[in-house]
Structure 1
């Protein structure tokens, strides 16, 4: 098993066990970035946050961990 496979397995486990905390962390990071850019890129930041949530939630092949 390669290094990236190991990282994917750990990320999948973390999202499965703590999807709500991962979602909250992504939201906080997006809010921080939006604040630092003065709200100029809020729509792009929101799209990026949603994209990251979708990809992390789909690591196990199911969309059930991040709301």
Structure 2
């Protein structure tokens, strides 16, 4: 039970850190999507946009 409790604490801290830095994380997601789109020559733009949107939705709000 102690391991599960520690894991829950770590997850909580991770969510809190992500929420505090949500702007930076969104910028990183945008930058990664732009990079992938550029490297693929726009061939997979729709798929990249879908992944980008999903990643942004996964970021906790402040």
Q: TM-score range by the shorter chain?
A: 0.7 to 0.9
Q: Which residue matches 1:53?
A: 56
Structure showing greater Rg: 2
Query: Once the 2 structures are TM-superposed, how far is the Cα of residue 52 of structure 1 from its aligned partner?
Result: 1.0
- Cα distance 1:4–1:51, how it changes in 2: closer, same or farther (>3 A)? farther
- Number of residue equivalences: 58
Q: Which residue matches 1:17?
A: 20
Q: Which runs of 4+ in 1 moved over 3 A?
A: 1-5
Any unmatched runs of 5+ in structure 2?
A: none
Query: Once the 2 structures are TM-superposed, how far is the Cα of residue 44 of structure 1 from its aligned partner?
Result: 0.8
Q: Which residue matches 1:37?
A: 40
Any unmatched runs of 5+ in structure 1?
A: 58-63
Q: CA RMSD in A?
A: 1.9
